């Protein structure tokens, strides 16, 4: 998927995708904790076993510009795998965001990092350099009930996160762009006092 396509995705409103699609939206338990505007990137998946910080670090070493790291904590929502140090490293790799099915830490640093960060919440308890085996990267994940495959694209904003195959996004993108382009005129007509039945009922 080209950088140009990711750039087009990063100009749409993510809820506009929700006007056209039913699947691929993370539920509201995953909230944005840092970042501004729409951010789009390639899903790079990792499942962390045993709260192991070294496995997180290895996943970060594999990131490339335009990637969006997606971290499955194997059901552990208490140990934060992402904080000031890991966010700085992820940013240094040129990645654009992180989804954690669990908690994150060092919130002020995450807000300053420029990354789009999405998680269940915050914690002061972190992963540790255990060196536990069993972590896997590049695998299909299920994050809060939504399947995420390596190669899917992540599109995120303040409202939530969509994770979809590139072919689904390329099909819907022209519709989303047209919808976003038309909305300011509709809002202006509503605000100008135009009859609502004509605007809303058809």
Ligand X SMILES: O=C([O-])CC(=O)C(=O)O
DSSP string covering 1-15: --HHHHHHHTTS-HH
CB of 56 to Mg ion, least distance (A): 12
Kindly state the smallest distance separating residue 61's Cβ from ligand X, in Å: 14
- Asked whether position 149 contacts Mg ion by CB under 5 A, the answer is no
Strands 31-34 vs 116-119: parallel, antiparallel or unpaired: antiparallel
Torsion of CA 112, 85, 89, 12, to 10 degrees: -40
**Residue 54 interacting entry, from ligand X, Mg ion, none, C-beta within 5 to 8 Å by type:** none
CA distances to 13, 101, 182 from 38, rounded to whole Å, are 7, 20, 18
Residue nearest to ligand X (CB): 83
Please tell me whether 52 is known to bind a ligand: no
Residue whose C-alpha is closest to residue 6's, from 69, 138, 96, 90:
96
In whole angstroms, the minimum distance from the beta carbon of 84 to ligand X comes to: 4
Which range binds ligand X by CB under 6 A, 7-15, 84-92, 155-163, 186-194? Answer: 84-92
Alpha helices in 76-165 (DSSP H): 84-92, 107-113
In angstroms, what is the minimal distance from the CB of 132 to ligand X?
A: 13
Interface contacts to Mg ion, rule CB under 5 A? 83-84, 106
Binding residues for Mg(2+) are 106
Residues binding ligand X (CB under 6 A):
53, 80-86, 105-106, 126-127
């Amino acid at each position: 998927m080209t950088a140009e396509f990711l750039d087009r995705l990063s100009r749409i409103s993510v809820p506009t995708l929700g006007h056209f699609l039913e699947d691929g939206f993370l539920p509201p338990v995953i909230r944005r904790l840092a970042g501004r505007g729409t951010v789009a990137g390639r899903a790079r998946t990792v499942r962390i076993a045993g709260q192991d910080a070294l496995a997180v670090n290895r996943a970060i070493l594999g990131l490339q510009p335009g990637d969006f790291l997606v971290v499955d904590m194997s059901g552990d929502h208490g140990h934060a795998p992402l904080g000031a140090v890991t966010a700085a490293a992820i940013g240094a790799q040129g990645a654009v965001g992180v989804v954690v099915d669990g908690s994150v830490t060092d919130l002020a640093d995450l807000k300053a990092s420029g990354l789009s960060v999405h998680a269940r919440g915050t914690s002061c308890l972190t992963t540790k350099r255990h060196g536990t085996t069993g972590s896997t990267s590049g695998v299909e994940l299920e994050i809060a009930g939504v399947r995420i495959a390596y190669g899917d694209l992540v599109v995120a904003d303040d409202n939530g996160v969509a994770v979809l195959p590139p072919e689904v996004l390329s099909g819907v993108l022209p519709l989303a762009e047209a919808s976003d382009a038309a909305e300011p005129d509709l809002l202006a007509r509503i605000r100008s006092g135009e009859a609502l039945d004509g605007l809303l009922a058809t």
